[in-house]
Amino acid sequence: MPWRAPAACATYAPSTHEFQLHLIKGKADTKNELALLRDAMKRAANKPLLPFKKLLDAWENGDPAAIAAVSVATMSPEEKKSYLDDRNQSWIPKIEKMLKEKRTFLITVGAAHLAGPNGVPNLLRQAGYKVDGPDVGGEAAVTKPSSKSQAVARIVK
């Protein structure tokens, strides 16, 4: 049975479904979108699961350097910029707004958004927040959690 947020828990997505689809569609228009979709499906079908297994292992081991390396290994610089860096940057004001509320939020993002100098934790550090948890890059020291349950960040201003 999938996990569901309790009724009293507010949920918020930093990116809309439409925005996610726009990222995936890229340069598609009504004339070429079917060909682009076919090409993307062929590439996805031929992609080995090894990178995902490496990413999962890195997450389970609390290894942010490996998360950063595996996450961008198959991305072009343009893809990394649009899928990770630009999105991370756009989320910071939204997260800061949430932090000003008198409530506790659970913010979930993909593992790739948490690692590296342009990851969400380091961007929050650059904005003056104290972020506890594993990370690599920037001024943050690399800390390895002793269990999966510690692979989360706590943010304080």
Distance of CA 104 to the CA centre of its chain: 20
- Residue 9 placed within a domain: no
- Residue 77 placed within a domain: yes
- Residue 133 placed within a domain: yes
- Buried-state track 7-24, b at ≥16 Cβ within 10 A, e below 16: eeeeeeebeeeeeeeeee
- Residue 29 placed within a domain: no
pLDDT at 124: 92
- Residue 108 placed within a domain: yes
Average pLDDT value over all residues in the chain: 74
Report the domain count for the chain.
Answer: 1
Domain range for 105:
48-156
Sequence-ordered strand ranges (E) for the chain: 130-132, 154-156
- Residue 3 placed within a domain: no
Name the more confident of 33 and 55. 55
Please give the average per-residue pLDDT across 107-133, as a whole number: 87
